[in-house]
Structure 1
Amino acid sequence: MTASFRSLARVLLLSAMLAVTSAVHSQDEAPSWRTDFGIETRLHYRDSDRNRFAVNFPFTPDMLPPGQTQGFMETVEPGGHFEVSLISLIANIARGNRFLAHARVDFIDRHDRNPTSGDRKIDVDQLWLRWGREIAPALPAEGFGGYVKLGKFEKFERQNDRHLESYGLVSTAFNRLEDLGAEFGLDLGGNFYLKGSITQGNPLFIRDPNALAGDNGIDALRQPNPDPELKTGIPILYDAEIEGLDFDGNPELGAAAGYRWADASGQRAFDIMLFGYHGKLEETVSLHGTFYGGDLDLLRGPANQFAYPALSGNDREEYGVNLRAYLGDLSLFGQYVDQEIASLPRSGLELEAAWSFELPLVWSIEGRQLFSHIQPAVRYSRLDNDFANPDITPFPSGAWDWEKVDVGVRLTILPGLDLTAEYADNRLFTAGGKASNDEWLVTLRWRS
């Protein structure tokens, strides 16, 4: 570990001690226990463009579909499809603002199966305990305070109030999925705050940025002349889901410092946060549903068969900045990330704007307003990979630069029930020029 990150570790330890002290001594006026249980379901119509891109990997004839003489990356499941993608059970147990236990268990979870469709169909998406006070982004704190969180939770830079059902390139590549470990936060008065984490770290793997991840390294590919129903997708490198508790003495350290402000009315607010991570890539990581290994094994290929030319070491470092702004009914979010994985540099930018406004309708059902709000949203994201592909590789898109524009609108049908329609315009910068891999997604979401 570099000297700067040894210093960071000491700062994290001191901040953690302050956060623990603050969490333990936080006071509620009238602490009481309360429980909250809910369910969320999502039904989709998805229409994906049909695309295929040739790869120069030397597949043997029995490794290819019947009659095919060359390997391809292909759209995971082209055409139009109706599907139930998710059923989630959610539980919260709280005592005042001192303690919260949160659990979210996902069933089916077709769009987040990680890294392939062969992944588990029942997944503990989040499971954590929190002591102390955690302030939402852009809300000033009421004086000094803090929290400590243990378990499986989202990264502190993740945008949890996305206004579309899809994900941008930055969120997909760097912080879409939860990590496992400890997190703490410290409010230095009303506006300044610190955050830190000591976690297991997400393994590096590949997935398509559209709704379905794609099937890479599934058991069906071990059969002669395989032709699986779901294809590879056009994948990018991304931080995949952890597969369980596996600390090996090389935890990932994260730190953040931020400033937040809001006016007295709460109609105008902003939050800026700088963050960074340092960790180590493993030689290999076993992932459920694929015989490909994650981390360095993915970057080298079997027996260094297709290692990236500039690959060196096993450090993973990441730095970035988040910016949030709320101006009445307008919501803005921006994130920039600069990452280096085993000396392979890449960076990403993501910008989202959403506007929510009431509809001039007076219809109601049992006192609940029907079609009350509509919310247009647009998101721009890009991923710049500043490294070259190996001479041979089964997924050359791993080093392609990429732009994605998501445009959509969300309609509140009833409280807890909404419909979102969106279009993903993917712009891929391949070795042969510009290409696309676009997708329509319509989502009916119900939450209780």
Structure 2
Amino acid sequence: MRRGRPAPLYAGPCAVLWLCATAASGQTATPTAPNEAAPEAAVAGETAEIRALEVDFGLEAKVHFRDSERLANPSPFPFPPEFLPPGQTRAFQETVDEGRHFEISTLTLLADAVWGENLAAHAKVDFIDLYDRNPTSSDREIDVDELWIRFGSDPARAPGAFALYARLGKFAHFERQDDRHLESYGLVSTAFNRFEDAGLEVGADLGRHLYLRASLTAGNPLFFRDPNALAGDNGTPAKDPVAHPNPEPELQTGFPILYDAEVEDLDTDGELETGGGIGLRLGDPEGGGYFDLLAWGYRRKLAQTVALEGTSYGGDLDLLDGPFEGFSLPIAGDDKREVGANLRAGAGGFSFFGQYVAQELAGMDRTGWEAEVAWRFELPLAWAVGGRQLFPSLQPAARYSRLEPEFAGGSPQYPAPSVRWEWTKLDLGVRLAIVSGVDLTIEYADNVLTRADGRELSEDELLATLRFRM
């Protein structure tokens, strides 16, 4: 049985933001005495202007054409006959939704509130979240991706002197790439930091070049998903043999890798995750060339199980231990640790991002790395509509990623053999800005999966994305 869920993790930040808005809207001008000096009145006016609360809203929508290559590979697990489709004698891992499809993946509401330079809040709510949902068919459709409040300086800006900040709520990992140039994700970003965590993050800028980061968070539950656009369906109600004997689901399992899934509440049944990082930056991303090197790490204890929305499978150790005794991966202990390094660099329209991660997962080792290069070209003015330039920029991008699990031992009949496979992924794409707020990204993912016996498999995907932002 699932335990009762605690109050939503975003209740605290919402309350603080509401208090800030109330305080700002409740400010009244203090009458000026006749004998007060004019300069004092001017200073008071400037102070009131600085403290004014500014709130902005945004909307983002994404429409896609997706063409997914069909791939099927037998599962070694001896599923009972009632678990299998009619006439089938063994189970398969299969492409989630093969073929050509038009679909809407995203409808997102964004809200930002800023009160001076040292108080800000941000919310991101998805009303359609097709490519993040896991399982694809039965996970919740409305999701709060981000909801946080920040006290202190903006960590995205390089300060000229010592600065501190604290962020509370649900937010992206501080090591995550924040300027992706393709709609897809690499293997490393999928496995380790695609989704936001919930808790507290603090940081210190020790002058312009050296900075520190630390976090205390719930920790993303360990689960699995396909690295392509759709996560796949595993443990869904549609595959329940009691309710649906010999099920024939519309969506398949995909070829999942282990990854840090979405935080759904604060009750993970494990210990809080601690994280830290130290970075060195040179130059200025807003003013020319820049270089940013960050070393970081995380650590927590895996829970015995974590209940996840839409699936009967448990996360963390429950997932690694297999469905029954004797079908486990080679786990030992409950430690989960990652150490890694990021490198960001750029100049003009060129940008580079690289990340390396080494992970220990219940005694099993896994490493991965990825690198992305992109170049943005400003195009000359040829056409305009409504005072806005048509096709103002073009941005080609390429990303290579590699994941190497070292999960030797354990049961050879673990139901999802793909979590053990070496995997490489080459993403090639181009993003064309159509007008301000509208762009088209076309990309191709070349996936090479290497089974334990050395045989290589292919699960390629073409994805075109029309994005609207306002």
TM-score (norm 1): 0.91
| RMSD of aligned residue pairs (Cα, Å) | 1.6
What is the letter of the counterpart of residue 200 of structure 2?
A
What is the letter of the counterpart of residue 249 of structure 2?
P
Tell me the alpha carbon deviations over residues 24-47 of structure 1, each in whole angstroms, 9 at most, x when there is no partner. xxx999332101000000000000
| 1:132 equivalent among 141, 152, 166 | 152
Q: 1:264 and 1:375 mapped to 2: Cα distance? A: 17
What is the letter of the counterpart of residue 90 of structure 1?
L
Tell me the alpha carbon deviations over residues 342-388 of structure 1, each in whole angstroms, 9 at most, x when there is no partner. 01100110100000001233211121111010000000000000112
What is the letter of the counterpart of residue 390 of structure 1?
S
Which residue in 2 is equivalent to 1:443? 465
What is the letter of the counterpart of residue 140 of structure 2?
R
Kept in 1, the 8 Å contact 2:270–2:302? The answer is no
Which residue in 1 is equivalent to 2:236? 218
What is the letter of the counterpart of residue 191 of structure 2?
A
What is the letter of the counterpart of residue 363 of structure 1?
W
Q: 2:444 and 2:48 mapped to 1: Cα distance? A: 46
Q: 1:264 and 1:295 mapped to 2: Cα distance? A: 38
What is the letter of the counterpart of residue 404 of structure 1?
K
Kept in 2, the 8 Å contact 1:140–1:261? The answer is no
Unpaired runs of at least 5, structure 1: 1-26
Q: 2:195 and 2:280 mapped to 1: Cα distance? A: 25
What is the letter of the counterpart of residue 128 of structure 2?
I
What is the letter of the counterpart of residue 72 of structure 1?
F
What is the letter of the counterpart of residue 95 of structure 1?
W
Q: 2:278 and 2:302 mapped to 1: Cα distance? A: 25
Which residue in 1 is equivalent to 2:325? 304
Kept in 1, the 8 Å contact 2:95–2:254? The answer is yes
Matched, 1:85 2:142: no
Tell me the alpha carbon deviations over residues 138-173 of structure 1, each in whole angstroms, 9 at most, x when there is no partner. x53120001100001110011121000000000000
Distance change (3 Å), C-alpha of 1:112 and 1:28? farther
| 1:395 equivalent among 416, 429, 439 | 416
Which residue in 2 is equivalent to 1:315? 335
| 1:172 equivalent among 184, 190, 194 | 190
Greater Rg, structure 1 or structure 2?
2
Q: 1:116 and 1:366 mapped to 2: Cα distance? A: 39
Which residue in 1 is equivalent to 2:452? 431
Q: 1:140 and 1:30 mapped to 2: Cα distance? A: 21
> Once the two structures are aligned, what percentage of the paired residues are identical?
57
Kept in 1, the 8 Å contact 2:351–2:373? The answer is yes
My pick for the range that moved more, 272-281 or 30-39, is: 30-39
Q: 1:249 and 1:427 mapped to 2: Cα distance? A: 34
Q: 1:28 and 1:191 mapped to 2: Cα distance? A: 33
Kept in 2, the 8 Å contact 1:115–1:240? The answer is no
What is the letter of the counterpart of residue 178 of structure 1?
E
Distance change (3 Å), C-alpha of 1:394 and 1:249? closer
Kept in 1, the 8 Å contact 2:94–2:252? The answer is yes
SS of the residue 1:167 aligns to: coil
| 2:75 equivalent among 55, 65, 71 | 55
Which residue in 2 is equivalent to 1:191? 209
The Cα of 1:291 is off from its aligned counterpart by 0.1
Tell me the alpha carbon deviations over residues 285-329 of structure 1, each in whole angstroms, 9 at most, x when there is no partner. 0000100010000000234341113x1110101000000001211
Q: How does 1:3-14 map to 2 (within 5 A)?
A: none
SS of the residue 1:313 aligns to: coil
- Give the length in aligned residue pairs: 419
The Cα of 1:247 is off from its aligned counterpart by 6.0
Kept in 2, the 8 Å contact 1:116–1:290? The answer is no
Q: 2:286 and 2:54 mapped to 1: Cα distance? A: 29
Unpaired runs of at least 5, structure 2: 1-46
| 2:428 equivalent among 407, 427, 431 | 407
Which residue in 2 is equivalent to 1:9? none
Distance change (3 Å), C-alpha of 1:429 and 1:28? farther
The Cα of 1:107 is off from its aligned counterpart by 1.0
Which residue in 1 is equivalent to 2:304? 283
Which residue in 2 is equivalent to 1:5? none
Runs of 4+ with deviation above 6 angstroms:
none
SS of the residue 1:173 aligns to: helix
Q: 2:469 and 2:195 mapped to 1: Cα distance? A: 21
Q: 1:191 and 1:219 mapped to 2: Cα distance? A: 52
TM-score (norm 2): 0.87
Which residue in 1 is equivalent to 2:314? 293
Kept in 2, the 8 Å contact 1:299–1:306? The answer is no
